[in-house]
């Protein structure tokens, strides 16, 4: 985040729960260091009541996340570190999506922040909006706070029965099939495996295709042989890919004529 001085930036540290998309902790600092990241994750674990060995922290390969202070803090808290693979840009999609949403907010300044206090105030308003007002499309359009508190299932059941099913019953012509799926999402994967199409069954080929091809091939071979016989009969030979044949009219071709009388050479000049 741009600061008031050219070349100076503020560094935003965010911790997001990927199951609920809730921002559980954040801080803005003037420098990027492993100490700031370690203090943030320590505070988040204390506030959220994270027990030892129950949390995995995924992050990019930045220096603050691999620093000795950060790794020592994670070991003390019993947090398992997880880093993105080198040269894999989409290995941390939840964080990338969150920061894009932050920078594409209409209220995000076009220029720079006037100071650290202004940047902190703006991020605080964004976090409040994101957690309590933003209807996240990836979690069936409920707020991250509602999902984090376990209220999303009741909200989605009510939305499906009282709104969509009721609307379909009153006006069934608007729906050619079933209504939208509003069941709660129970599993979230950081990097889900891509589905591969397995087709062990051999695809049958129409029997007529093989017969048609087999009939055409002898015809092609016969035509090729006929062309070779015609070439030999006419005296035309092939040399380095070019055909050279006998000239039937030497006068028209200009062979053996002086340069001045060669009409072809005069045209070219």
Question: Can you give the pLDDT at residue 142?
Answer: 96
pLDDT tens for 191-227 read 777 665 555 555 554 554 545 444 455 555 555 555 5
Question: Can you give the pLDDT at residue 99?
Answer: 93
Work out whether the CA dihedral 207, 209, 211, 212 comes out positive or negative: positive
79/25 Cα distance (integer angstroms): 16
Write b or e for each residue in 9-37: b if 16 or more Cβ atoms lie within 10 A of its Cβ, otherwise e: ebebbbbbbbebbbbbbbbbbeeeebebb
Question: Can you give the pLDDT at residue 241?
Answer: 47
Residue 48 pLDDT class (50, 70, 90 cuts): very high
User: Does pLDDT of 228 surpass 50?
Assistant: yes
In order of 121, 142, 196, 208, the CA distances from 130 in angstroms are: 14, 11, 35, 63
Average pLDDT score, the chain = 80
195/192 Cα distance (integer angstroms): 9
The domains of the chain are located at 11-141, 151-187
User: Does pLDDT of 232 surpass 70?
Assistant: no
| Lowest model confidence (mean pLDDT) among 43-52, 85-94, 152-161, 243-252 | 243-252
169: left (phi over 0), alpha (psi -120 to 50) or beta: alpha
- Has this prediction a pTM greater than 0.75? no
Q: What percent of the chain has pLDDT over 70?
A: 72
120/10 Cα distance (integer angstroms): 10
Work out whether the CA dihedral 236, 238, 241, 247 comes out positive or negative: negative
User: Does pLDDT of 158 surpass 60?
Assistant: yes
Q: Looking at domain 11-141, which CATH architecture does it have?
A: 2-Layer Sandwich (3.30)
Question: Can you give the pLDDT at residue 178?
Answer: 86
Give the per-residue SS3 of 154-186.
HHHHHHHHHHHHHHHHHCHHHCCCCCCCCCCCC
User: Does pLDDT of 31 surpass 60?
Assistant: yes
H or E segment and range at residue 97? helix 93-103
pLDDT tens for 92-125 read 889 999 999 999 999 999 989 999 999 999 999 9
Please, which residues have CB within 8 angstroms of residue 79's CB and are 6 or more apart in sequence? 41, 45, 50, 55, 56, 57
């Amino acid at each position: 985040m741009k600061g008031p001085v050219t070349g100076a930036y503020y560094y935003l540290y965010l911790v997001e729960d990927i199951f609920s998309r809730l921002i559980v902790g954040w801080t803005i600092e003037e420098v990027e260091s492993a100490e700031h990241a370690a203090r943030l994750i320590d505070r988040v674990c204390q506030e959220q009541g994270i027990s030892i060995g129950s949390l995995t922290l995924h992050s990019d390969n930045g220096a603050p996340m691999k620093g000795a202070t950060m790794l020592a803090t994670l070991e003390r808290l019993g947090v398992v570190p997880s880093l993105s693979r080198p040269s894999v840009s989409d290995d941390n999609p939840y964080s990338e999506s969150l920061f894009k949403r932050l920078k594409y907010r209409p209220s995000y300044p076009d220029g720079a922040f006037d100071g650290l206090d202004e940047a902190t105030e703006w991020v605080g308003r964004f976090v409040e909006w994101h957690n309590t007002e933003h209807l996240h499309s990836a979690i069936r359009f409920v707020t991250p706070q509602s999902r984090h508190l376990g209220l999303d299932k009741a909200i989605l059941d009510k939305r499906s029965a009282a709104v969509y099913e009721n609307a379909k019953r009153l006006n069934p012509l608007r729906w050619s099939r079933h209504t939208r799926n509003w069941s709660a999402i129970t599993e979230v994967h950081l990097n889900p495996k891509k589905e591969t199409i397995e087709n062990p069954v051999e695809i049958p080929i129409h029997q007529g295709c093989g017969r048609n091809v087999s009939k055409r091939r002898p015809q092609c071979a016969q035509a090729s042989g006929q062309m070779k016989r015609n070439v030999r009969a006419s005296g035309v030979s092939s040399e380095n890919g070019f055909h050279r044949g006998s000239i039937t009219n030497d006068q028209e071709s200009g062979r053996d004529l002086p340069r001045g009388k060669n009409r072809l050479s005069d045209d070219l000049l």
